[in-house]
């Protein structure tokens, strides 16, 4: 799918209508990520929001009860993209900004990130250790910091062999910004500069800081 030729709502609809294909994609994701989504929805919509989410997931073809997910278990990676679509369709008025915000808030409630960040001594150390964090979340694809330029104060994060859903691309704009902030970076901005859904062979994010 060429993300440039699809509206955000079309991407969400495509995700719902191609659930089987999505769930059959190779790769697994750590169930801990669903904890961060639970916390985000609960903060915004309280307990009722979690039940509304569950009911909408059934309507869309696959039940997900975030309250009952095993945060130590591994799930099909496509289920994560489906959960994004369910979240957007559950709450009226939610869209791209809420998905980015969900990504931005996720590191604050991630058990994995909280533990890892305790041992990072600098912002650049966070960038250098990022590949290790990827492996704690996914058993597919790879993340590398392709470039760190301390003088220009910019870095490029590259994700390879990860062709799941454009919804991840939006989520990670917020996620990478918050990880860098928690790692000690100031005035962080994140821009997507390459994307497999636009015909590139990998994803790249340009990170800038002051």
Determine the pLDDT at residue 2.
47
Of all helices (H) and strands (E), which one includes residue 52?
helix 32-60
Cβ atoms of 164 and 1 closer than 8 Å? no
CATH code (residue 66):
3.90.1520.10
Tens digits of per-residue pLDDT, 173-203? 999 999 888 878 889 999 999 999 999 999 9
Q: How many CB atoms lie within 10 A of CB 191?
A: 11
Cβ atoms of 160 and 142 closer than 8 Å? yes
Q: Cα separation of 98 and 88, whole Å?
A: 8
Determine the pLDDT at residue 160.
97
Determine the pLDDT at residue 120.
61
The parent domain of residue 38 ranges over 3-208
Enter the DSSP assignment of 172: H
Q: Cα separation of 135 and 123, whole Å?
A: 20
Determine the pLDDT at residue 4.
47
Q: Into how many domains does the chain fold?
A: 1
Mean of pLDDT values over 55-72: 96
Tens digits of per-residue pLDDT, 110-151? 887 776 666 665 667 777 778 888 999 999 999 998 888 889
Determine the pLDDT at residue 193.
96
Strands (E), the chain: 28-30, 74-76, 142-149, 154-160, 189-194, 202-208
């Amino acid at each position: 799918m060429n993300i440039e030729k699809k509206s955000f709502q079309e991407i969400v609809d495509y995700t719902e209508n191609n659930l089987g294909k999505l769930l059959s994609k190779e790769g697994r994701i750590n169930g801990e990520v669903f904890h961060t989504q639970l916390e985000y929805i609960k903060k915004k919509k309280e307990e009722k929001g979690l039940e509304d989410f569950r009911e909408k997931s059934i309507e869309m073809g696959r039940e997900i009860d975030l309250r009952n997910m095993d945060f130590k278990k591994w799930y099909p990676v496509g289920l994560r993209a489906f959960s994004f679509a369910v979240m957007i369709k559950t709450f009226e008025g939610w869209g791209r900004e809420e998905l980015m915000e969900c990504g931005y808030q996720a590191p604050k409630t991630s058990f994995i990130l909280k533990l890892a960040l305790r041992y990072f001594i600098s912002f650049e150390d966070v960038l250098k250790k990022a590949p290790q964090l990827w492996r704690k979340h996914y058993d597919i694809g790879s993340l590398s910091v392709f470039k760190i330029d301390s003088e220009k104060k910019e870095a490029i994060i590259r994700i390879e062999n990860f062709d799941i859903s454009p919804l991840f691309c939006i989520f990670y704009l917020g996620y990478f910004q918050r990880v860098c902030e928690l790692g000690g970076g100031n005035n962080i901005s994140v821009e997507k500069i390459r994307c497999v859904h636009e015909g590139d062979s990998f994803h790249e994010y340009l990170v800038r800081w002051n």
